[in-house]
Chains A and B, each alone.
Chain A
Amino acid sequence: MPVAVTLSSLQEIAASNQWAAIMPELLLAGLAVLVLGFELVVPKTYRALIPAIAISGLAIILLGVGIHFHTTFLNDDTFDHLLHHSDGGQFMRVFFLLTAILVCLLATVTLERQPVPKAEFYHLVIVITAALMLLAQSNHFVMFFVALETVTVGFYILVSYFRTSAASLEGGLKYLILSALSSAILLFGIVLLYGVAGNRALPGATADAMNFGALRGFLAANPDNFLANVGAVLVLAGVAFKIGAVPFQFWIPDVYQGAPTPVTAFLAVGSKAAGFAVLLILALDVFRPLQAVLVPVLSVMAVATILFGNLAALTQNNVKRLMGLSGVSHAGYLLVGVIAAYREPLAVGAVYFYLLAYLLASFAVFAVMAHVSGSDDADQDLEHYANLARERPFLGTVLAIGLGSLAGIPPLAGFMGKLLIFIFAFKAGLYGLLTAAVVGVVISIYYYFGWIRAAFFPFRRATGLAASEPPRPVITRVGFPVAAAMVLLAAGSVILGFYQGPLGVWLVSR
């Protein structure tokens, strides 16, 4: 923007804003206010309606986005190039709305057991969802940073939401410090890129250096500029923190364990997917001219992430930590897909498919975890699952399908996701990465099946120890809406494995 912007030209820009382009996000903001207002105004006896309002509101908005999937704004910029609307952005919108609905459903199970306020939780989930949707469509670093920080600050509160639990607060503090650290690193990267790209002494300098398109043009003219490379690496380090890639994975086990189970699920699926949506925009589009530096960095990161995640998950006894560390390895497989997309553009579709399969499988497992865990949400051990399948066949089946899909057992959806990514990695000639990924999958089968075995067989103690069963929390009864969601998640995992249909065609042939 030139310095001599007059008031009237600002007014012109403001009048040209097409608010209809962000209707879903505006509706989410309205819904968030409605949830809070409802709690203030309506008598206590009706407060049980709050989750229902939040979930049905989200479902209606999801339906609206689904109907208007091919909006008139597709492949267009709005808000003076702050936002860019694309197929991928629309997919992520649907993805995040789906995530939010499932998180709210899990919250109805978990929050019941805790002495905490309810309405604010749903409010925050809705606000974060809106920010995630804007983040996946951002086309300008100011928009990007503000959306990212809205997500992050919201998550600080959600992670430490059980404020009477030391584990939750400590998890929150750890997330706060490490996430703020990564945000500061990312911010410094943005400022460096802005400073270099606007330097008029360099060829291709741009007056609009925070705009993704203009920045890409500058980087194409100066692919070897040292400061620009440093800036890009710093920005990607901030994104790598969100997806939990090595060496930025150290926060994951503690924060996942301390956070309430629905929030753990939100972090594992929503936050990670947002990281990948952003990574696809930044690494593949904006920073593409720098791929000589970025591809080796991302490749080393992918191998380290896959191996570390799987090896660290082997020794875990707490299922939340196990989900966190196995989630690290899933980030590694997804990174392989992103790297493959440099040579095989269709691999982007494989990444989206993998994310969808990961969502279905993860939420199936987290839903079971929400029912098995007791009043101490941080204490969820493998022993608590002993004999689950015999006592609760429904929970046991859903757990087995979810874990099987995560492990990549054919014919479940997780298998198809991995297969697609591996095919594209093979086509792109990434044999080293492919080897690491296959080794990772083999290791992961061990601990996923350890969990399934724990659920399908009685807990065995070493002889000589006391024969008594370990104390374990009472399993919550499965209510109707959650049970329906679990059936849908499990069925989705099975069906997507056999039949991808128009969705698969759309994803992998764009």
Chain B
Amino acid sequence: MIFSLSSSIFHFPLALAVTSLPAEVGINHYLLLSALLFAIGFFGVLLRRNTLVVYLCLELMLSASTLAAVAFSRFNGTMDGNIFVFFIITVAAAEVAVGLAIIVALFRLRHTVQLEELTALKH
């Protein structure tokens, strides 16, 4: 959907592109977006080599879950998902506080945040 929309903007008059938008954004669109965010985060964690970028990708994965929780909450008509989001955000904040502290301490000691240069534990 995203790709067809962007290509239609480039090749056709704008009015035509607007009519090709879905009439209403439903649960599936949110879930698709959430799954995409999750996948970007997941592969970012596995493939990127800079600790800070890896950390950003981890937060992206949590955001993907948050988005899905809110969308499900609205779709199902129960408040649990919305409440859960507050807990997720709180936990993510705690995780960032501790995580950045560890990264800063490591940078002071090793002067690098590149994962491939952290090799004190290779036996």
B partners with A? yes
Interface residues in chain A, defined as those with a beta carbon under 8 Å from any beta carbon in chain B? 1-3, 5, 141-142, 145-146, 149, 152-153, 156-157, 160, 163-164, 166-167, 169-174, 176-177, 180-181, 183-185, 187-188, 190-192, 194-195, 198-200, 205, 207-210, 253-254, 257-258, 316-318, 321, 378
State the 4 A-B residue pairs at the shortest beta-carbon distance, nearest first: A195-B72, A198-B76, A184-B61, A149-B91
Nearest chain A CB to B95 CB, angstrom units: 6
Contact A195 to B102, CB < 8 A, known contacts A166-B120, A184-B41, A187-B62:
no
State how many residues of chain B have any CB contact under 8 Å with chain A. 43
Contacts of A200 in B (CB 8 A): 76-77
Q: Is the CB of A176 within 8 A of B99?
A: yes
Which of A5, A181, A321 is in CB contact (< 8 Å) with B58? A181
Which of B69, B95, B102, B123 is in CB contact (< 8 Å) with A173? B102
Contact A194 to B69, CB < 8 A, known contacts A160-B102, A188-B64:
yes
Q: Is the CB of B99 within 8 A of A258?
A: no
Q: Is the CB of B61 within 8 A of A188?
A: yes
Complex CA distance for A163 and B109, rounded to whole angstroms:
9
Complex CA distance for A467 and B98, rounded to whole angstroms:
47
Q: Is the CB of A170 within 8 A of B118?
A: yes
Q: Does more than half of chain A's interface fall in helix, strand or loop, or is it mixed?
A: helix
Contacts of B61 in A (CB 8 A): 181, 184-185, 187-188
Contact A258 to B84, CB < 8 A, known contacts A149-B94, A181-B61:
no
Q: Is the CB of A210 within 8 A of B45?
A: no
- Pull 29 A–B residue pairs with CB atoms less than 8 Å apart, ordered by A: A5-B79, A142-B83, A149-B95, A153-B98, A164-B109, A169-B105, A170-B118, A172-B106, A173-B51, A173-B106, A177-B54, A181-B42, A181-B45, A184-B62, A185-B42, A187-B62, A188-B61, A188-B64, A188-B68, A191-B69, A194-B69, A195-B68, A195-B75, A198-B72, A198-B76, A199-B75, A209-B76, A209-B78, A258-B120
Judge if B11 is at the interface, Cβ distance under 8 Å: no
Complex CA distance for A167 and B121, rounded to whole angstroms:
6
Which of B76, B98, B99, B121 is in CB contact (< 8 Å) with A195? B76
Contact A171 to B76, CB < 8 A, known contacts A145-B91, A156-B102, A163-B105:
no
Q: Is the CB of B79 within 8 A of A169?
A: no
Complex CA distance for A321 and B41, rounded to whole angstroms:
30
Which of B41, B77, B79, B102 is in CB contact (< 8 Å) with A176? B102
Contact A177 to B78, CB < 8 A, known contacts A170-B106, A191-B68, A257-B121:
no
Q: Is the CB of B72 within 8 A of A194?
A: yes
Contacts of B103 in A (CB 8 A): 173
Q: Is the CB of A318 within 8 A of B123?
A: yes
Which of B51, B54, B55, B78 is in CB contact (< 8 Å) with A198? B78
Contacts of A163 in B (CB 8 A): 105, 109
Nearest chain A CB to B53 CB, angstrom units: 11
Nearest chain A CB to B6 CB, angstrom units: 27
Contacts of A199 in B (CB 8 A): 75-76
Complex CA distance for A195 and B91, rounded to whole angstroms:
21
Q: Is the CB of B81 within 8 A of A194?
A: yes
Contacts of B81 in A (CB 8 A): 191, 194-195
Q: Is the CB of B72 within 8 A of A191?
A: yes
Complex CA distance for A210 and B85, rounded to whole angstroms:
13
Nearest chain A CB to B100 CB, angstrom units: 10
Nearest chain B CB to A93 CB, angstrom units: 23
Nearest chain B CB to A175 CB, angstrom units: 9
- For chain B, residues 80 to 114, give those with C-beta under 8 angstroms from any C-beta of chain A: 80-81, 83-84, 87-88, 91, 94-95, 98-99, 102-103, 105-106, 109-110
Contacts of B83 in A (CB 8 A): 142
* Residue of B64, B103, B123 with highest tally of chain A CB at under 10 A: B123
Q: Which residue of B lies closest to A148 (CB)?
A: B91
Contacts of B84 in A (CB 8 A): 141-142, 145, 191, 194, 210
Nearest chain A CB to B8 CB, angstrom units: 31
Complex CA distance for A316 and B105, rounded to whole angstroms:
29
Q: Which residue of B lies closest to A154 (CB)?
A: B98
Contacts of A160 in B (CB 8 A): 102, 105
Complex CA distance for A380 and B65, rounded to whole angstroms:
41
Q: Is the CB of A156 within 8 A of B98?
A: yes
Q: Is the CB of B98 within 8 A of A146?
A: no
Q: Which residue of A lies closest to B69 (CB)?
A: A191
Contacts of A184 in B (CB 8 A): 38, 41-42, 58, 61-62, 65
Contacts of A164 in B (CB 8 A): 109
* Residue of B31, B71, B72, B110 with highest tally of chain A CB at under 10 A: B72
Q: Is the CB of A194 within 8 A of B110?
A: no
Nearest chain A CB to B28 CB, angstrom units: 12
Contact A180 to B106, CB < 8 A, known contacts A1-B79, A209-B78:
no
